Structures are given as C-alpha cells and as structure tokens.
Structure 1
Amino acid sequence: MTDTQSADTVQRTAAEILGETKKLVDPEIERRLEELHPMMRGIARYHFGWQDAAGRPDPHGSGGKALRPALAVLGARTVGAAGDEPAVIDAAVAVELIHNFSLLHDDIMDGDRTRRHRPTAWTVFGENQTLLAGCALQTLAFEVLAEQSPAAVPSLGAMVQELIAGQSEDLQLEGNESATVDQCLRMEQGKTASLLSASASLGAQAYGADAEQVRLLAEYGHHLGMAFQLVDDMLGIWGETDTTGKPVAADLAARKRSAPVVAALTAGTADSERLRAVLARPEELSPADLILAADLVEHAGGRSWTRERADLHTREALARLDRLAPPPSALADLAEVTRFLLSRTW
C-alpha cells in the first residue's frame, strides 16, 4: 500500500468502514442462509431486514450496522490480513449469526415487539418458529467456522456459553430488589462483552495470528463490549426512538436492572428509595411514571456513574490497540469505529 493510500484509509469515516465490511460479509451470510429449512430461512431473512413478512424483498429493511463482523475483519487486518480471506470472512459470518441467534431469542424473553423500527420476528412468525430459527442460526455459525478454522471452534463455543450465562443472569436480575452493581456488570460481561471480545479476535485467530495478538484483540473487544453495553443502558432510558428503534424508556417500562438503574438504587440516597418505590408498583408504569423514574435514576447518580464507567472501558479498549501496534491504517479504522459506537446520542 502506498503512503497516499494509507492516508486515504486513515481518513475514512466509521460509516464508510462499516459499510465496506458489510458488503464483504452480507453476501456470504445470504448464501449460507440458503442451507436452512425454508421456514428458518424466511424468518432469518426477515430478521436481517432483507425481506418482508410475506417473503418479498424489502428495500427499506435494515440489518443494523453489522458491528460484530466488522470487528472480525478489522481485527484480522491489525495482524496483517487483507480482510477478505475466506477464513476471515467465515469468522465474521459466524459471529454475526451468533449475534442474531441471540437477538431472536432475546426479543422473545424480553417481550420486545419492535427491533430496527420493524415488528420483531416472534410477533410475526410466532414464538416457537422464531426460537427454532435462532437455534438454526447458532448451529449454522459453528458449521461455517469449522469448515476452514476448526481450531477456532472452541473459542466460539466458550463465548456462546458465556453469552447464555449472561442472558440467564439478566433474567434472574429482573425485578431483583437486592441486585448489586457487581452482579449487573458480570451479567453485562456475559451478555454483551463476551461476543464483542470474540468478534474482535476470532478473525485474527482464523487468520493464524499469534496468541498474544489474539489476547490483546480479545481484551480490546471485552472493554469495547462493556462500554457499548453501558452506552446501550443509557439509551434504554434516555434514548429517542429514532436512535434505539424502541419506545422511549423501554428498559424502565420493563423494569430491567440495567447499570444506571442498579447504580441509582444502590446509591443510598432519598432518590434511590423513591426510585425503588416507583419500580415496585404492581401496575404498568404510565408515561408520567417513566419520566419520574428516569429523573430519579439521574438524580441518584446512575447516569453519571454509567457514563464514567463507559469512558473508563473506552480508554482501556484503545490502550489495547496501542499495545497491539497494528499498521496505522488498521489502527485508525478500529479507533474510528470504537469512537463512533460509543458516541451514540442518548
């Protein structure tokens, strides 16, 4: 690569970077979905935003930013891969399939009726068929990765076990009045950070990176994942529907024990106790209740604590990239994507 080309790469925006990796990975995901049973394939394609409920192409559907496959490609590039090697693309496909398996199941468990500004798959196709579609995506992920990178399969398996444990702990924390901050952070490590850690490192592992490079990328992904989830927690309370694709204060309406809520409840202030009383009401929370609860979380320090913790993990993530010392263009791409993902509006 010439110096001019390097400079051009360094100046790319996060949207350009994510768009480029999405173009590399999406066609391969579509190709692999053809291996599924027609019902499973239809649910998956609807969930990805590629077709409507009737099976017609949907030009307005959105499959999201495809962050996790982008991290797999970008992580591989930090260790010298061009990024379009078949083993790297397969690793990227695998983490995206796992991510969407988890989303299909998560929407059912949380009762979420909207994702990416569309009805969730289970509300269209039913809970049972959607559960099966999620299982199909999970199985397909392992099949894809095993074809060219069998040595990486245990890493993917360990991550899925962490992800499932995190989701289980999330369900256990719902309505738990004695939930602690440590319990909340452990849950978020399993539910979110484990997948981003694997995403950042799996492409490099499939490419043949050494153990130290894979470890630094995994640590980068862990800290990115923790920061990402903490930002997501703030969006779940203060984010606008246009940003989140979900109703305003959706996490409060569901009485989720997210980091800002738990930090506020355990702050030991008068606002903490008022918040506890609001969330304990047996009836559905009204719009006025949700506004009050959001204000109480903020006044009890939950918002500022979460923001500070997210900033800490962001710094730790970027520090791992510095220690990895990747080529300047690869470092610039990952750093730009990191900052973009953690500067979402709430």
Structure 2
Amino acid sequence: MVAGTADVRAALPAPLAEALAGYEEHLLAQRDLSAHTVRGYVTDVVMLLDHLARRGGGQVHDLDLATLRSWLAQGRTRGHSRATTARHAAAARSFTGWLRRSGLTPDDVGQRLVSPKAHRTLPDVLAPDQARAVVESAAGAEEPAGLRDAVVLELLYASGIRVSELVGLDVDDVDRSRRLLRVLGKGRKERSVPYGVPAEQAIDAWLTRGRPALAGPDSGPALLLGVRGHRLDAREARRVVHRAVAAAPGAPDIGPHGLRHSAATHVLEGGADLRSVQELLGHASLATTQIYTHVTVERLRAVHAQAHPRA
C-alpha cells in the first residue's frame, strides 16, 4: 500500500474493514492476481471506503452510486489524471461486483458507474538500428554479469516478454532445441514464446560460463542470477536496459517495457498478423494489441512526411 494507507485502513469502521478483508482474500485466493495488482486494487478500495465513512456510511450497503461518483469527482479536483480516474472506477466496480456476488449488498451499484476512458498514448519505440545497438551493447562480455546482461537484453527484445516474466524464468523453462520459452504471464496463464539465434548464443554463453560462476545455495532453478547468486531482481534488469539504451545514439529513454513495445512494432512491421502478435505478447484482448497498429501508422506517416516530395 502507499504511505499512509495502512493508517486509513486501520481507522475504517469494523463492518467496512471486514468487507475489505474478505475482498482482499478473494483477490488473492480466487482470482490469483499478482501481489502488485492486489495491492493496487486494495489501496483504491481503502480510499473509497474512507470516503464512504467520511460521508457517514458505516456499512457496505451504504455505498451508493452518488458516493462512487463523488469519490471520483473528489479525485479529479485533486488533479487525478483520466487514467487514474479510470483505474479508480475499475477498482470500485470490481469491489461492488464482489459485494453483490457475496450477498453483502442486494445490488451492484457500480454497474451504473461511468468513468472517462484513459487517453492511450503511443509508446516510445526504438528504430531497428537502435534496437540492434541496444541488444548488442553487451556483446563480447566475458565477466558473468556481462554475460547475464546480454541474455537480459536479447531475450527482452527477441521475445517481447515482460520483465517480470523474464526474471521469473527457470532454466527448465528454456527449450533450447526448439528455441522456445515457457512463460508464466498475467493471471498465471502459460504460453510458449520463440526467440532467435542471437538470443540462443547469449543463453549458451551464460549457462556455460556465466551462471556457474554466480550460482550458489540460494540460486534454485532461476535462469538469471544477481551477483550474489539469488534470482535476478526486476529492478536490476531495468537498470541493465536503461544503461544499454542510454548508450545507443538517439534512442528514446525506455526501459524493458519499451523493448517489448519495440519488439511488437518491429514484428508487426515485418508482416506478422495482429493475432500472432497478441499471442506473442500474452494479451488477453486483441484491443490491447491494436495500439501497435497505431504505432506503425504513426511511424509510416513520419517517414512519408520526411521522404515524399509532396508530403
């Protein structure tokens, strides 16, 4: 939770606190969400219930549409972005839906809650030559950390996986004969993702000369290790990417998710169909993947404007 949220939660009326605890248990045990996602949902609902309590509500059945709307409106007056407001509304609808299904309220008041759609900004992506410079920045390294960094960069760009998926890989998740990764994505959904020859070469060097030098009693089956032999932390993987990107001439300031965006864009520009890219990225909805069609169109327009004599 964010700083101060624990105190707000502790001050909630007992019936509201009990309902919140039940909702949190539902998210953890039944929806199998990540700890980060659960923390976000619970934090938002804590603030919603605090707003309800300040309006005189002490029971979950006191939560009505007017309270939901006033909570969102209060956030807007405090400068919340459209994206934040949309996230708060989603959390509220999730909570009220659970209240109704659990029999704690007779109706789902959140069904009628309308919120603004978040603006979808186009992600920064690398040009192909910039991507090549980034992933090859660790090429030729011989020290264990450098060999590992080469795998981090190659796999993030070659496969388009999330950084959390990367650091969660075990050695046995790599099918080297077929050059496939077994990836556990959001919602614990498993998918197979291909990678190319350069990434395989980086993996071979790491497993042969890098990982054995760092492995220790606490390494377990983790594919990627930190310098102390533990599973590589996502924060360190992000630092690896930022260092490599900063050294690439003209590259936008991106992290691991930017490499994912770049991989998806380059695959789509290379002729892949949208559903194949959806499967590659592990998106539950094709609508999420469609942003990359906008990215490629914008890139095409920029090239046209620069190169066409009558642009």
Normalising by structure 2, we get a TM-score of 0.23
Counting helix residues as a fraction of each chain, which structure ranks higher?
A: 1
Larger radius of gyration: 2
